[in-house]
Amino acid sequence: MLVPNDGRVWALDVPVVFTAYRIWVNQVEAARSGTVGQSAKSAVPAKYPQVIYLPGTGQTSLHIVIQVSNYENYRGGLVYRLYPQDGSRRFKSLLTWVCSAFGLFIMAGSIQLVTEALLFLQLFILFTALYMCAVFIRAVSRRREGALAAVAGAMVLGAAIMNDVLYLPGLVHTGNFTTLGLFVFIFAQSYLLSSGFAKAFSSSEELAGKLIHLNASLEEKVRQRTRPWSRLISRWRE
C-alpha cells in the first residue's frame, strides 16, 4: 500500500472480522484477534475490532499481510457493503423491522391469517427488489466500480421475484424463477469479487514496476551527482 509522506498519522480501522485474524505491517505483527488456525481444533474465535496505527517514519510504501480463519460463523472473513453511499440506512432499518415482525406473526398467528398476510409480504419483497435495482442503477450513474454487473444481476433477480409474486396467486402461469434469479445474482457478485482481485493484482504489479523504475532513476541521479566528486577523489589519490 502506498501512503503519502506528508507528516500525517495513518491508521487502519479493522472492524469485526469473522472469526480470527492476524495482521502484519512491514513483516511486524500489528494486530491479532483470536487464534488463526488451519482447522477448527487449532483455531480460537474472537471478535475484537481495533485501530492499527501505521508506522510514520517517512515510509511511502507499506507491505500489509492479513490472515483470516473462520469455522464458527456463516459470515466468514472480511465483510463489506456494496455501494453504501447509494443506499438508505432508514430503508435497511425498515426492512429489518418488517421482516422481524412478520417472522413473529408467522410463529404466533393462525394459518388462515398467515396465508392472507402473505400477499402484503410478497408486495413488500417486490418493493425491496425494485429498491435494490434503483440503488444499483444509481451506482451505475455515479460510475461506481463494478456497478454494471451488479445492476444486471439485480435486474434478473428483481424480474424473477416479480414473476413469482404474480405466479403464486395464479395471476400468471409461468413457474418459479426466484432460484434461477438468485443464481444469476450470486454469479454477478462472484464476478465483482474476481474482477476486484484481478484489478488489485494488476495495480500492485503496475505500482511495483513504477517503484523499480523510480529506484533505478534515483540511483542514476545519485551516480550523476557523485561523479564529479569521484573524479576529484581519484585525482587526489593520484
pLDDT tens, position by position, 111-123: 888 888 888 888 8
- In this structure, the answer to whether residues 75 and 88 fall within a common structural domain is no
Quick check: 238 pLDDT over 70?
no
**Do 107 and 44 lie in a common domain?**
no
Relative to beta strand 28-33, strand 20-25 is antiparallel
pLDDT band at 237 (very low <50, low <70, confident <90, very high): low
> Is 158 found in the same domain as 90?
yes
Whether residue 186 sits in one domain with residue 88: yes
Q: Looking at 179, 194, 209, which one is the last position of a domain?
A: 194
Answer whether residue 90 is part of any domain.
yes
Q: Give the Cα separation of 95 and 90 in Å (integer).
A: 9
Q: Are residues 22 and 75 in the same domain?
A: yes
Burial, 161: exposed, middle or buried (Cβ in 10 Å; 0-12, 13-18, 19+)?
A: buried
Same domain, 49 and 104: no
Pick the last residue of a domain from 52, 79, 106: 79
- Give this prediction's pTM: 0.58
CB atoms within 10 A of CB 64: 13
- Strands across the sheet with 20-25, in order? 28-33, 20-25, 64-69
pLDDT recorded at residue 177? 92
Count up the domains in the chain and report the number.
2
In a domain, 121, yes or no: yes
| Confidence bin at 184 (pLDDT 50/70/90) | very high
Query: What gap in Å lies between CA 233 and CA 218, rounded to an integer?
Result: 22
Compute the residue count for the chain.
238
CA distance 20 to 68: 6
Which residue, 79, 95, 110, sits at the end of a domain? 79
Same domain, yes or no, for 164 and 150?
A: yes
C-beta atoms surrounding 136 within 10 Å = 26
Does any domain span residue 202?
no
Q: Look at 188 and 219; give whichever has higher pLDDT.
A: 188
Q: Are 166 and 118 contained in the same domain? A: yes
Number of C-alpha atoms within 13 angstroms, CB side, residue 113?
8
Smallest CA-to-CA distance from 36 within 52, 53, 49, 17 is with 17
CA-to-CA distance for 5 and 112, rounded, in angstroms?
67
Per-residue pLDDT reduced to its tens digit, 41-77: 888 888 888 888 887 656 677 888 889 888 888 777 7
How confident is the model at residue 183, as a pLDDT?
92
The amino acid at 17: V
Q: Average model confidence (pLDDT) for the chain?
A: 82
Q: Is 215 within the bounds of a domain?
A: no
Closest CA to 141 of 69, 97, 101, 83: 83
Q: Are residues 90 and 186 in the same domain?
A: yes
CA 102 to chain centre: 30
Residue 185's domain spans which residues?
84-194
